Amino acid sequence: MTLAGRPVRIPEPSSFHQAVGRAIDAYSTVEAEEAFLLRAILKTDIRTAYLLCFAVQNTASRLELIDNLLRYKFENKLQAHRESCAKFIRILAKFRNAVAHWHPYLQVYSNADAEFRYVQSLAPPVPNGLKFIREGDIAPFVEDCDNISKVLRDLTKFIGARRRSLPRRFQQPITCRNRAVLQQPPTPKALQLQR
């Protein structure tokens, strides 16, 4: 590739590529925690839980399955907790799908001395009005995955312990909030207000 008559070298796999890999890995932990939760609810072995969990191919259907089972086993005692977990995971899944399916995008900048700087990102294959995902956007996503994995793990432990009394934290919405959210770019008016 050339730019202004000078060859431009496309970067080799970089920290950006590693961040994308870490994001996919972090989300797979969330899916594993869903399978462990399913195992605890159904009182079955992990292989059966994985077979059932991953036979359900999309996030919405998997959340509906888990929600219905929790409602069946615990009536509506976990409703606020369940609903907040599901909302968190739906937002997380949208970001994960963007990381997994958007296309690599390379922006090349140069200064007056013809020195080049590269910014790698992920862009939707069909423009959709959302901001590109840059390397700095991925760490909050990984943190979100870690947070919801811990919430699911705690719920799994509670269900597996077969305690009679329901701790208060499982009767309330989760306290963590998504930090990684697909966003619209700022409008020109908003940019003027920031100056």
pLDDT for residue 118: 81
C-alpha–C-alpha distance, residues 55 and 100, integer Å: 20
Distances (CA, A) of 7 to 1, 11, 100, 194: 6, 13, 30, 37
Which region among 52-66, 95-109, 111-125, 179-193 has the lowest average model confidence (pLDDT)? 179-193
Q: What is the mean pLDDT of residues 74-85?
A: 92
With pLDDT > 90 as the criterion, what percentage of the chain qualifies? 65
- Residues paired with 119 in a beta bridge: 107
pLDDT-derived band at 114 (thresholds 50, 70, 90) equals confident
86: amino acid identity, one letter? A
Q: Which pLDDT score, from 0 to 100, does residue 194 have?
A: 55
Q: Which pLDDT tens digit goes with each residue over 91-101?
A: 999 999 999 99
Q: Which amino acid is at 82?
A: R
Confidence of residue 105 (pLDDT cuts 50, 70, 90): confident
The whole-number average pLDDT for the span 7-33 is 86
Q: What is the mean pLDDT of the chain?
A: 88
